[in-house]
Structure 1
């Protein structure tokens, strides 16, 4: 019996029964104690589950380690390290020049299955902060294509974005600005909210048809604040658009801001920074974050996104231990 099976079995046993000491007599008439399992006497605390821990393929590749770009290779490492699930970064799976191939997707699904890993998240990129309707339509089509890829992979939730204004020189410049950009000249955030909301309303029917819950991430653009994420999610008001919550994307007052989105979260992405961060380092208190999520009733996956300078093959196991301890 492996550790995961033992813990699961023990949790269900404690949920279904309580233990009671009872006095009986043996055949000679001498008293003896016996242990009796009494159904239905467990407390609510005894059935509180641990969050399962997954890892994003981004943790291995990080847009830098080409020898760790191959998704099956990352799945092999994740299984060896003891993760429960695996999140795929869509840009890691397909290059701009490649065409999505269903046969390739099915091989990946099979590879994860035989390694005992849930494919539990699909992390995608899109942007709707443009006054050009043709550009927004192209992003709508891309997002619909990604939903259909997630469906083919059997993945139940997909990370989505609002996008950024594109007024920064590059991502390094955006990070130097702490994720805050100026709008395109002549436009405001009110325009941006309309573009994003209209776009996701057009995408929703595909998400519902495929059974893929989109999770709008606190990921720059309109997602730089919890209020921005909530405005989009609350306005659309659909079970097929909720929140992917990233612990590392609120650079100030993270705990208060995370708590504002916790109840709408369908996937928690957990950043770690062993070796120091590439753009910044946050000293995150994961037991505190776990408490926030538990109080919000979150029982879903925690997906590791390692974003430090240490070798991922040594830092990722450390990160898994940290998250197992915090979310146990």
Structure 2
């Protein structure tokens, strides 16, 4: 797809995104819930501080997840020693084997990329970063690699122009993911992608079974987050289900029953990784959130 065709498709999708007919939460709550194959997972960022300061190892994290009853674990790339350099096969296969021996699956992994960078040569390095970790994901047995849109402000550059180069870069990564059996998941991270109106055109432009949304419940911070989740849930290939959500700019406890009912009403099946943030003992917080999620799953 050339840039002109890509732009036309994206703008058409953008125009339709804001007028899509979506059932209200009230209507959805009256529908029978579908039987689902939904499994729990932990996003390792919940233990970001102890992992980064070496107070906890990946082996210890695996042991913890198995001990409290998770089905899977999402290990972001930067928790491997030496990131962004790709770890050795020995390291990758050690983590894979340890997870298997503990009865855990690797539900995903991710990188910290930025496709909003204006410098084309620097963006090539970002694409290569994603490609490198696609290969890691394949060796780990992780079905999904999480990527970001980016954070650069690029004052004076039209959003449409940034979107054009971003779509091209993502398409390149999606094709490489397909070649390696790894799905590329774009996370709504309250950066360049903040709302459902931002999310939808990406998936209406790049229509590939190897491209999906990492639906981050805590990063829809404009408008009604539950309605934003409803509008984009059909693109989800993985989740970050967080303990807090933003309603009218205020951070409050997530209505977990409501979110999980939305998942059950959708076509999504698979892992629902949880993530806790902020102050407090991550072990205590994670166990508490897991218990609540299991109740509704």
For Structure 1 versus Structure 2, the TM-score category normalised by the shorter chain is 0.7 to 0.9
Q: In terms of mean alpha carbon deviation, does 47-56 or 232-241 score higher?
A: 47-56
- Contact in 1 for aligned 2:73/2:107 (Cα 8 Å): yes
Q: Which runs of 5+ in 1 are unaligned?
A: 1-44, 166-182, 274-279
Name the CA distance, whole Å, in 2 between partners of 1:197 and 1:205: 12
1:155 and 2:142 matched: yes
Name the CA distance, whole Å, in 2 between partners of 1:46 and 1:199: 38
Q: In terms of mean alpha carbon deviation, does 61-70 or 311-320 score higher?
A: 61-70
In structure 1, the partner of 2:101 is 114
1:318 and 2:276 matched: no
- Contact in 2 for aligned 1:162/1:222 (Cα 8 Å): yes
Query: Aligned pair count?
Result: 260
In structure 2, the partner of 1:174 is none
In structure 2, the partner of 1:42 is none
- Contact in 1 for aligned 2:51/2:58 (Cα 8 Å): no
CA RMSD of aligned residues (A): 2.0
Q: CA deviation at 1:94?
A: 3.6
In structure 2, the partner of 1:49 is 36
Q: Which runs of 5+ in 2 are unaligned?
A: 1-31, 245-249
TM-score, normalised by the number of residues in structure 1: 0.75
In structure 2, the partner of 1:304 is 274
Q: CA deviation at 1:158?
A: 1.3
In structure 2, the partner of 1:260 is 231
Structure 1 runs of 4+ with >3 Å offset: 62-65, 94-99
In structure 2, the partner of 1:251 is 221
Match 1:70 to one of 52, 57, 61? 57
Match 1:139 to one of 104, 123, 126? 126
Which whole-Å deviations, capped at 9, do the CAs of 1:8-55 have from their partners, x for residues lacking one?
A: xxxxxxxxxxxxxxxxxxxxxxxxxxxxxxxxxxxxx89813521010
| Greater RCO (Cα-Cα under 8 Å, separation 6 or more) | 2
TM-score, normalised by the number of residues in structure 2: 0.82
Which whole-Å deviations, capped at 9, do the CAs of 1:116-146 have from their partners, x for residues lacking one?
A: 0011111222111122110110000000001
Larger Rg: 1
